[in-house]
Structure 1
Amino acid sequence: MNKRQEEKKAWLRGLVKHVEPGKIVEFGCGSGFVLEVLSNQFPDSIIVGMDKSIERLKEVISKNLKNVIPIQADITENIFPKATFDTALFVGSLHEVFSYLGEEKVRDAFRIAHGVLKDNGVLIVQDFLKPSPKSVELILKNEEIKRRFLRFADEFRPRKVRYQERNHGVKLDIADAVEFISKYHSPSEEDWKQEMNETHFFFAQGDYQKVAQQTGFVIKKSKRLPKDQYWWEEIEKDIQITFESEYRWIQLVLVKRVAEASCLGSKP
Structure 2
Amino acid sequence: MGYQRHMEFVLFPGRHHVLTRFQARYLSELAGPETTVIWAVTSANHANTRRNPVPYHRREAAIERFSAQTGLRSLVVPVFDTAPTDRFAEVTLKNVTVDTGLALGTGNTVVACSTPEVAALYELLGFKVVTVEGAVSPEPERPWDVLLRLAAGDETWRELAHPATVDVFDRYRLAEAVRTVVNDPVVGDEGGLSSTRDYRTYVEAFADGAARKWSAVREHVRPGRIVDIGCGAGAVLELADREPALRESDLIGVEVARHLFDECVHKKAQGAFTNPNVFFYRRNVLGGAVLPPRSVDTTLTFALTHEIWSYGDRYASLRAFAQAIYDHTVPGGVWINSDVCGPDERERPVLLHLERGDGQNPAAPRRDLAALPPAEVTAYVAGLSTRARFDQFAVDYRFPFAWEAAGDAVRLSLADAMDFLTRKDYTGNWLPEMAEQFCGMAYADWRELLTGIGWELDVASRAFRNDWIAEHRLAPVASLTGLDGQPLDWPVTHLLAVARRPLNT
TM range (shorter): 0.7 to 0.9
Helix, strand or coil at the partner of 2:291: coil
CA distance in 1 between partners of 2:206 and 2:224 (Å): 30
- 2:420 is matched with which residue? 180
For 1:69-84, list aligned pairs within 5 A.
Answer: 69-76=279-286, 77-84=288-295
Give the alignment partner of residue 397 of structure 2, picking from 151, 156, 166: 156
Give the alignment partner of residue 468 of structure 2, picking from 206, 215, 229: 229
Does the CA contact (< 8 Å) of 2:206 and 2:235 recur in 1?
no
How big is each residue's C-alpha offset from its partner over 1:13-56, in whole Å with a ceiling of 9 and x where there is no partner?
Answer: 22221111221012222233433333333444221111211112
Helix, strand or coil at the partner of 2:285: coil
Give the alignment partner of residue 197 of structure 1, picking from 435, 442, 445: 435
- 2:491 is matched with which residue? 246
By how many angstroms is 1:244 displaced?
A: 5.3
How big is each residue's C-alpha offset from its partner over 1:158-189, in whole Å with a ceiling of 9 and x where there is no partner?
Answer: 2224132433x43322111111122121142x
Helix, strand or coil at the partner of 1:130: coil
CA distance in 2 between partners of 1:252 and 1:85 (Å): 17
- 1:146 is matched with which residue? 387
Deviates more, 1:154-163 or 1:221-230: 221-230
| 1:14 pairs with 2:220 | no
By how many angstroms is 1:146 displaced?
A: 2.3
| 1:94 pairs with 2:305 | yes
The one of the two structures with greater contact order (alpha-carbon pairs below 8 A, sep at least 6) is 1
CA distance in 2 between partners of 1:218 and 1:227 (Å): 25
How big is each residue's C-alpha offset from its partner over 1:215-252, in whole Å with a ceiling of 9 and x where there is no partner?
Answer: 22111232123214267314444434565541321111
By how many angstroms is 1:73 displaced?
A: 0.5
For 1:213-228, list aligned pairs within 5 A.
Answer: 213-221=451-459, 222-228=461-467
Q: Evaluate the alpha carbon distance shift between residue 194 and residue 161 of structure 1 in structure 2; reply closer, same or farther with a 3 A threshold.
A: farther
Helix, strand or coil at the partner of 1:185: coil
Helix, strand or coil at the partner of 1:246: coil
By how many angstroms is 1:209 displaced?
A: 1.2
Helix, strand or coil at the partner of 1:17: helix
Give the alignment partner of residue 296 of structure 2, picking from 79, 85, 100: 85
Q: Stretches of 4+ moved more than 6 A in 1?
A: 2-8
Does the CA contact (< 8 Å) of 1:140 and 1:240 recur in 2?
no
Consecutive unaligned residues in structure 2, runs of 5 or more = 1-203, 360-383, 481-486
Q: Evaluate the alpha carbon distance shift between residue 139 and residue 147 of structure 1 in structure 2; reply closer, same or farther with a 3 A threshold.
A: closer
Q: Evaluate the alpha carbon distance shift between residue 75 and residue 203 of structure 1 in structure 2; reply closer, same or farther with a 3 A threshold.
A: same
CA distance in 2 between partners of 1:50 and 1:39 (Å): 16
Does the CA contact (< 8 Å) of 2:206 and 2:232 recur in 1?
no
CA distance in 2 between partners of 1:192 and 1:20 (Å): 37
For 1:36-55, list aligned pairs within 5 A.
Answer: 36-41=238-243, 42-55=246-259
Question: In terms of Rg, which structure is larger?
Answer: 2
Consecutive unaligned residues in structure 1, runs of 5 or more = 261-268
CA distance in 1 between partners of 2:435 and 2:333 (Å): 33
Deviates more, 1:11-20 or 1:175-184: 11-20
Helix, strand or coil at the partner of 1:179: helix
How many aligned residue pairs are there? 256
Deviates more, 1:171-180 or 1:140-149: 140-149
Helix, strand or coil at the partner of 1:90: strand
CA distance in 2 between partners of 1:4 and 1:69 (Å): 19
- TM-score, normalised via structure 2 length: 0.47
Amino acid at match of 1:88: T
CA distance in 2 between partners of 1:59 and 1:130 (Å): 32
CA distance in 1 between partners of 2:289 and 2:206 (Å): 34
CA distance in 1 between partners of 2:334 and 2:290 (Å): 19
| 1:25 pairs with 2:227 | yes
CA distance in 2 between partners of 1:45 and 1:231 (Å): 38
Deviates more, 1:244-253 or 1:70-79: 244-253
Amino-acid identity (%)? 21
Q: Evaluate the alpha carbon distance shift between residue 244 and residue 93 of structure 1 in structure 2; reply closer, same or farther with a 3 A threshold.
A: farther
- 1:263 is matched with which residue? none
CA distance in 1 between partners of 2:465 and 2:235 (Å): 19
Amino acid at match of 1:140: E
For 1:114-133, list aligned pairs within 5 A.
Answer: 114-131=326-343, 132=345, 133=347
- 1:57 is matched with which residue? 261
RMSD: 2.6
